[in-house]
Amino acid sequence: MDDIINISSQLGRGLGITITILIASALFAYLMGFIAGLSRLSKNVFLRKFTGLYIEIFRGTSLIVQLFWLYYAIPMLFGIDLGSNWVIGVIAIGLNYGAYLSEVVRGSIISVAPGQYEAATALNMSSTQRMRLIIFPQAVRMMLPEFGNYTIQMLKGTALVSLIGLNDILYYGDILRSSNLSQAPLIYIVVLGFYFLLALPLIFATRKAEEISKKGVAS
Footprint of other proteins (CB under 8 A): 56-57, 60-66, 68-69, 72-73, 75-76, 79, 152, 155-160, 163, 170, 173-174, 177, 181-182, 184-185, 187-189, 191-192, 195-196, 199, 202-203
Beta carbon nearer to other proteins, 72 or 113: 72
Query: With respect to other proteins, which residue has the nearer C-beta, 39 or 96?
Result: 96
Q: How far is the CB of 39 from other proteins (least distance, A)?
A: 20
Tell me whether residue 192 or residue 212 sits nearer to other proteins (CB atom): 192
Residues 6+ apart with CB under 8 A from 76: none
Answer yes or no: are the C-beta atoms of 10 and 160 closer than 8 Å. no
What is the CB neighbour count within 10 angstroms for residue 168? 27
Q: Please identify, using beta-carbon distances, which residue of 41 and 203 lies nearer to other proteins.
A: 203
Shortest distance, position 157 Cβ to other proteins, whole Å: 8
Cβ closest to other proteins, residue 134 vs residue 168? 168
Please report how close the Cβ of residue 215 comes to other proteins at its closest, in angstroms: 21
* Sign of the dihedral through C-alpha 118, 121, 125, 127: positive
Say which residues have a Cβ less than 8 Å from residue 159's Cβ, sequence separation at least 6. Answer: 18, 168, 169, 170, 195
In the chain, helix, strand, coil percent, each to 5? 85, 0, 15
Least distance (Å) between residue 65 CB and other proteins = 5
Supply the minimum distance, in Å, between the C-beta of residue 155 and other proteins.
7
CB atoms within 10 A of CB 51: 23
